[in-house]
Structure 1
């Protein structure tokens, strides 16, 4: 007679999209849309007024888009991409935020990251901290990435 615990599956770790992860991804998606829209309008209408600031807004938009996608995809590769984009984002917010406060003439027009994201209620400053915390709490298992990535590939092939 076999014990029920012998056949019971191991409890699954919650994925990155569970609970607060969904909110985090939603905020990243909204910020990606806002930064994309802002940078598009800035570049189309007034690029010659502040090319560096507007190019940085476009770069921020791309970073937010890639981070949003990476946070939603399974596997070790996407996990690493999420880390890379969020660290890049945090570094950008700190560098551009500090430069825009210390020498406002460097950025005659605001970027997404100017003043540590003050034009976006400081969400660009807080979001990567939350993202890094979330990623640290939801590392992919050592055995999971290969099976998740191969499942994602086979699912895309069918």
Structure 2
């Protein structure tokens, strides 16, 4: 008998790897934004505030993914959708108006500085969330 996918199974197997990658991005983007804001804020405030926004999104996604329950699933979905919109919007803006982004953000160039992982990660996250969506009668906690 196979176990039905539910929010209670999100933090095992592939889910654990995805949570770990999000945790790495939460840590790295927080460190990057903190350093940039503390040392060079006047050079590119918009870029550095966007890096801080990315950090907050990665932190929220990581914590929500690691938790069980339907509410955490919806918080994770919201964070991953914000992440996808952010990387697409900032990526497009930085490509169309590079002078407006004198310094890179986590999402500049669609995550070019991070090997395009910021572009691919929300797509993987959405697929994973869809596969582990809450189901009626699945006994989600």
Q: TM-score by structure 2 length?
A: 0.93
Shift of 1:19: 1.3
- Which sections of structure 1, spanning at least 5 residues, go unmatched? 1-9, 149-158
Matches within 5 A, 1:72-151: 72-143=66-137, 144-145=139-140, 148=141
RMSD: 1.2
4+ residue runs of structure 1 moved beyond 3 angstroms? none
Residue of structure 2 in register with 1:4 after alignment: none
Q: In the aligned structure 1, how far is the partner of 2:117 from the partner of 2:26?
A: 12
Q: In the aligned structure 1, how far is the partner of 2:54 from the partner of 2:44?
A: 15
Q: How many residues align?
A: 137
Q: TM-score by structure 1 length?
A: 0.83
- Which sections of structure 2, spanning at least 5 residues, go unmatched? none
**SS of equivalent to 2:50:** helix
Post-superposition CA distance 1:87-112 (Å, at most 9, x none): 00000000000110111011111000
Residue of structure 2 in register with 1:69 after alignment: 63
Determine which structure has greater relative contact order: mean sequence separation of CA pairs < 8 Å that are 6+ residues apart, divided by chain length. Answer: 2
Shift of 1:12: 3.0
Shift of 1:11: 4.8
Matches within 5 A, 1:26-37: 26-37=20-31
Q: In the aligned structure 1, how far is the partner of 2:2 from the partner of 2:129?
A: 20
Residue of structure 2 in register with 1:58 after alignment: 52
Structure of larger gyration radius: 1
